[in-house]
Amino acid sequence: MRAVKNLYRVPLIFFALAACFGLHLRAQVVRPFEWVNYPYWLHAHSHIMFLGWVTNVLLIFAIERFVTADNVPWYRKTFFWLQAFLIGMVVSFPLQGYGVASIALSTLHTALIVVFAIRFFRQTRASSQTASLWYMRVALTFFLVSAVGPLAIGATSAMGLAQTKWYYLSVYYYLHFQYNGFFTFGVIAVFLNLMELKGILYDQAEARRAGRYLAVACVPAYFLSTLWADPGLIFNAIGFFASALQLVSLAVLIKCIRPAVSEIASNVNRASARLLTIALISYGIKLLAQWISAFPEVAHLAAANRPYVMAYLHLVLIGTISLPQLTWYLERDLFRGFASPALVVFVTGFLLTEGILMLMPSAPRLGLGSGNTMVMMILAATVILTLGVLMLLVSSRKPDKS
pLDDT tens for 144-175 read 999 888 778 777 777 776 677 778 888 889 88
Residue 92's identity, in one-letter code, is S
d(CA 62, CA 58): 6
The helix (run of H) or strand (run of E) holding residue 189 is helix 184-197
Burial class of residue 231, CB neighbours in 10 A (0-12, 13-18, 19+): middle
Assess contact for 378 and 360: CB atoms under 8 A.
yes
Residue ranges of the chain with per-residue pLDDT less than 50: 399-402
Assess contact for 394 and 338: CB atoms under 8 A.
yes
d(CA 380, CA 138): 38
Q: CA geometry: angle at 323 spanning 1 and 329, to 5°? A: 25
Distant-in-sequence, close-in-space partners of 61: CB < 8 Å, separation ≥ 6: 136, 186, 189, 190, 193, 328
d(CA 16, CA 337): 19
Q: CA geometry: angle at 152 spanning 56 and 49, to 5°? A: 25
Amino acid 2: pLDDT: 66
Question: Which backbone phi and psi does 335 adopt, to 5 degrees?
Answer: -120, 155
Amino acid 402: pLDDT: 41
* pTM for this model (two decimals): 0.92
Question: Which backbone phi and psi does 396 adopt, to 5 degrees?
Answer: -70, 150
Amino acid 140: pLDDT: 97
Which segments within 46-148 are labelled E, that is strand? Answer: none
Amino acid 401: pLDDT: 46
Determine how many CB atoms are found less than 10 A away from the CB of residue 365.
7
CA gyration radius for the chain?
20
Amino acid 371: pLDDT: 67
Q: Which of 257, 401, 271 is nearest to 326 (CA)?
A: 271
